[in-house]
Amino acid sequence: MRIIPAIDIIDGKCVRLSKGDYDTKIIYNENPLEVAKSFEAHGIEYLHLVDLDGAKSSKIVNYKILEQIANQTSLKIDFGGGLKSDEDLRIAFESGANQITGGSIAVKNRAIFEKWISEYGSDKIILGADAKDEKIAVSGWLEDSDEDLIPFIQDYQTKGIQYVICTDIAKDGMLEGPSFDLYGKILAEAKGVKLIASGGISTFDELPKLAELGCEGTIIGKAIYEGRITLKQLENYIIGKM
């Protein structure tokens, strides 16, 4: 299972929110590049970079930080937050993203998201399926939708989607453990999906359980920043010591 630490950006700084609420913002580091380099130094190969300013303003904002991290580390970056147009996507890939994640756009403008899948390929485009009570939430989780989570994923599988990041919003940033039952259900019903679990990871012991379920990757945010999971533990996990 791939270990994918998260860096969320507001005003150029590395922050975390709880349940997607901007009022709960905690700044963990003024320098996202420094954070990314510390991940790389511990053998981590992947990074989930979220432009929270972009998510709020519906266009890419923090692409310079993406460019900086892409140029000064060898991390494979998936980038999301506010990607709404072909131009946003072009900027993201030109700035060094290996993959992009589309969430709101996949609900609100299916035609453009499906075009991206066919143009860039399913290895480059990740479906962001963020859920609240098994319904898809959009716009940085500020809006609910009528889309049911699993049929939404299954429908996009027919369009070629392979990678899906699923965040249970109720768990995000709460350090109360991930939604094992929800992920098990998705993996059972959306056969063949490469599921990346996100939200609620709080202890190292949860990682082998997610791997056992069949998750392809897991995104870890606050647990790292709060010292619940150490980079050394992740390093040992990656090299197979644990």
| Enzyme catalytic residues | 8, 130
Instruction: Please say whether the dihedral angle defined by the alpha carbons of residues 239, 240, 241 and 242, taken in this order, is positive or negative.
Output: positive
Alpha helices by DSSP H, listed for the chain, are 32-41, 52-57, 63-72, 86-94, 104-108, 110-120, 149-158, 180-189, 206-213, 222-225, 231-238
Q: Locate 22 and state its tokens.
A: 């901007």
Query: Which of 14, 39, 34, 38 shows the shortest CA–CA distance to 26?
Result: 14
Handedness of CA 72, 78, 81, 86 (dihedral sign): positive
Read off the amino acid at residue 77: I
C-alpha 102/C-alpha 86 separation (Å) is: 12
CA distance 121 to 1: 22
SS3 133: coil
